[in-house]
Amino acid sequence: MNAGFIGLGIMGAPMAANLLKAGFPLAVYNRTPSRCGPLQALGAVACETPAEVARRSDVVVTIVSETRDVEAVLFGPDGAAEGLRPGSVVIDMSTISPAATVEFAARLRAQGVDMLDAPVSGGESGAIEGRLSIMAGGPREAFDRCLPLFEAMGRKIVHTGGNGNGQRTKLVNQVVGSLNLLAVVEGVRMARAAGLDPNVTLEAVGGGAAGSWMWSNLGPKIFAGDFAPGFSIRLHQKDLRLAKESLEELGLDAPGTALLHRLFTEALDRGLGEQGNQGLFNLWS
Ligand code: NAP
């Protein structure tokens, strides 16, 4: 199976590397071409356009920033749609609007191409280690066909239903994860103010009912003052906007998500957008 990969950012680059390591012939495209270099060194063919990637591939993976960016790489000038053959599959692993996803899937289906929306969770470390959680929506048959690719990138791979359900599931993930991140930030602030030892606190709290991915992965970074991005505040604010919109469409009162959306928007306004999401801490520092 020839694979293609569009978007070699913090997540995309290691995910593409894992496809190469699993033996898939890989064509890659990145808007900033220099990011293709490390993948070429591992055996990937660098392409000048998404259309060229599609022409070389049976399955094309996209992982770019936002809804409009997925639309651009699929349907813009020289977009993948220009090179896709009937029978091929597009897997979008970005986190974007569920409604737009359903529309993109219909546009691709009209040209005989199946789409899977398969956003991920697990952060940069999960991408590097091939341990992502992958929540896929779309035709079951296409999901089954693409399973070997998913297995090269992730550990927990779940078919969540039709197109859009992958993104809807990811937004549930973001509501739960974001509220937990705020809890971690508040807990670290409290520990600091109380003069507690960081390592002792991390160990004690991490071993009990409050232990979590956020606590174990981002807690140590916050204590250490490491705000380099694994997942940027800019992209996290985008996810909270999508989650808030979905909750409103569902008619649900969601005070936690509303608060998180407001705090992340404030962080953006204060110029923290390119920090990692643990930089939420800096709203109070
Ligand atoms: P990132 O490091 O900022 O990378 C974004 C990638 O998208 C880059 O390759 C960028 O190209 C490309 N891109 C953006 N707009 C584009 C456009 N209009 N046309 C072509 N390429 C475009 O972001 P990331 O952290 O890898 O996140 C990517 C996606 O995964 C996002 O939807 C994010 O929400 C989701 N996600 C991230 C994490 C995480 O922990 N980081 C976890 C789960 C899900 P350039 O190199 O040219 O800028």
pLDDT in tens, 33-59: 999 999 999 999 999 999 999 999 999
Pocket test for ligand 1, best of 49, 65, 125 (most atoms within 8 A of CB): 65
| Average predicted confidence (pLDDT) for the chain | 98
* Ligand 1: centre distance to CA 113 (Å): 23
* Ligand 1: centre distance to CA 7 (Å): 6
Q: In the structure, what pLDDT confidence band is assigned to residue 72 with cuts at 50, 70 and 90?
A: very high
Q: In the structure, what pLDDT confidence band is assigned to residue 165 with cuts at 50, 70 and 90?
A: very high
Which residue, by CA, sits nearest to atom 30 of ligand 1?
94
pLDDT of residue 142: 98
User: Measured from the CA of 96, which atom of ligand 1 is nearest?
Assistant: 32
pLDDT of residue 79: 98
Residue 275 and residue 280: Cα distance in Å, rounded? 9
Q: Any idea which residue has 């692993």 for tokens? A: 93
Length in residues, the chain: 285
Residue 105 and residue 163: Cα distance in Å, rounded? 7
List every span in the chain annotated with CATH 1.10.1040.10. Answer: 168-283
In the chain, the percentage of residues whose pLDDT exceeds 70 is: 100
Catalytic residues: 170
Which residue, by CA, sits nearest to atom 4 of ligand 1?
9
List every span in the chain annotated with CATH 3.40.50.720. Answer: 3-163
- Whole-model pTM: value is 0.98
Domain 3-163, CATH among 3.40.50.150, 3.10.290.10, 3.40.50.720, 3.30.1490.20: 3.40.50.720
Q: Which CATH architecture has domain 168-283?
A: Orthogonal Bundle (1.10)
* Ligand 1: centre distance to CA 6 (Å): 10
* Ligand 1: centre distance to CA 31 (Å): 11
Write out pLDDT tens, residues 107-160.
999 999 999 999 999 999 999 999 999 999 999 999 999 999 999 999 999 999
Q: In the structure, what pLDDT confidence band is assigned to residue 98 with cuts at 50, 70 and 90?
A: very high
Write out pLDDT tens, residues 263-273.
999 999 999 99
Q: Name every protein residue with a CB atom under 6 angstroms from any ligand 1 atom.
A: 7-12, 30-32, 35, 63-65, 69, 72-73, 94-95, 120-121, 123-124, 230-231, 235, 239
Which residue, by CA, sits nearest to atom 16 of ligand 1?
69
Pocket test for ligand 1, best of 135, 235, 239 (most atoms within 8 A of CB): 235
* Ligand 1: centre distance to CA 209 (Å): 33
pLDDT of residue 193: 98
